[in-house]
A = this chain, B = another copy of it.
Amino acid sequence: MSEVIWGLATSHVPSIGAAMDRGMTQEPVWKPLFDGYRPAREWLAQHKPDVAVLVYNDHANGIDLDIVPTFGIGTADRYSVADEGFGRRPVPDVVGDPDLSLHLLQNLMDEGFDLTVFQELNVDHGFTVPLSIWTPEPGEAWPCPVVPLLVNVIQYPQPTAARCYALGQALGRALASYEAPARSASWAPAACPTSSPGRAPGSSTRRSTTCSSTRSRTTRRSSPRSPARTSSARPAPRASS
């Protein structure tokens, strides 16, 4: 069995990634945000997962408008970082975990979630910005394999909040039933503030889209001898508001 050991929720606005890629994190406008991340990053660095599940949404980079899935899961062993039109971010491609993907797929389908399966997927800032917030200096590779779970926020109708909540609960059950003795963690949904177009002069809008992020950590062990093992999930550190 596996165990969820942490969860993390964060905004994924592309400018966060750009600020990191361009060394601007200490500039006055950015410093408060990155200072806020520091305690979480320190805690997370001490609790390295073996695998993560990242619930996110694509922004017209991995998915076009021909086929718009409500919920999707990647089952590939590798996901390329998308070029969103300004060159790809200087971060590593993502290594997947097909075994965990197929386990989650089977269990979520059995629970009545109508998932779309991606064998090929380019991941955009909705995916790489949360990874960067977790691991600012990944070097050649991210710390562990990551399974993408996609939620449509581009085209209405989006899934209801109730449906997203039910999916998160089912995801928890599916992770718990993963056969290898293991611990896991989960990213909770995060609001993603986006400047949203409104036509009224003089009014700016701010709107939250359901850029959910759920991260799962599964430590595979042949015997349950982890000293850090606990029977319940640890509360997720609060990374940002």
Contact = CB atoms under 8 A, between A and B. Distances in A.
B66 A109 contact: no
A117 interface: yes
Contacts of A109: 70, 157, 159-160
A166 B117 CA distance: 21
This protein's copies in its complex: 2
B116 A69 contact: yes
Contacts of A68: 116-117, 119
A114 B117 contact: no
Given A67-B117, A68-B117, A112 B160 contact: yes
A34 interface: no
Interface in A152-168: 155, 157, 159-160, 162-163, 166
Interface string A86-120: 00000000000000000001100110111111111
A200 interface: no
